[in-house]
Amino acid sequence: MEKWKEASRRDLLDCGIFVAREHRSTGPHGKTGRFVVLDAPDWAIVVPVLERDGKRYLVTVNQYRHGADELCTEFPGGVVEPGEDPAVAAARELLEETGYKAARISPAGECWPNPAFMSNHLHVFVAEGLELVAAQDLDEHEIVDVHISPEDEVLDAVGLPPWSHALMATAAWYYIRCLSRRPA
């Protein structure tokens, strides 16, 4: 299998959070097609682990999502700013959305959110050694409620409303994989 060869590219629409671009490319079979790609910044999601009395809890956030027209429960996360290291973005988003600072931020995995038409990556991290150090510092249009829930309750709920966000299911999967790889 060979990659397609790009013949041209042009911007169709700049929406701020992504740019829609038309790519004209020729496949290894000789046929040329027109493909729309959404160029968006990378995203970072952090699974924050709070340990209390020998039990593990996960810090989560609830917020309204316009695309779903629903309140969603999620792990903290957001856009990786230009030139920003994804781990730094994860730590920043954790602090902004929850007020928690982590002693350790460890990579859990990364993937393409939807490589069929999106160009960005999703970076997932695990945050441990949490300390509440500040109040929330939210963006102008963010309204975020913070919740602390037992780890098993959160992981059992992933995939069911209000945990229906596919990127959060992916983050939970990476987190579970990290747990399974820890020495006993």
Give whole-number Cα distances, 44 to 32, 35, 93, 100, 121, in Å: 34, 26, 8, 16, 9
Contact 149, 70 (CB under 8 A): no
Contact 20, 11 (CB under 8 A): yes
Q: Please tell me the distance from the alpha carbon of residue 127 to that of residue 107, in angstroms, as a whole number.
A: 9
For 149, other C-beta atoms within 10 Å of its C-beta total 15
Contact 77, 87 (CB under 8 A): no
Pairing of β 32-39 and β 43-52: unpaired
Across-strand partners of 49? 58
Catalytic residues: 140
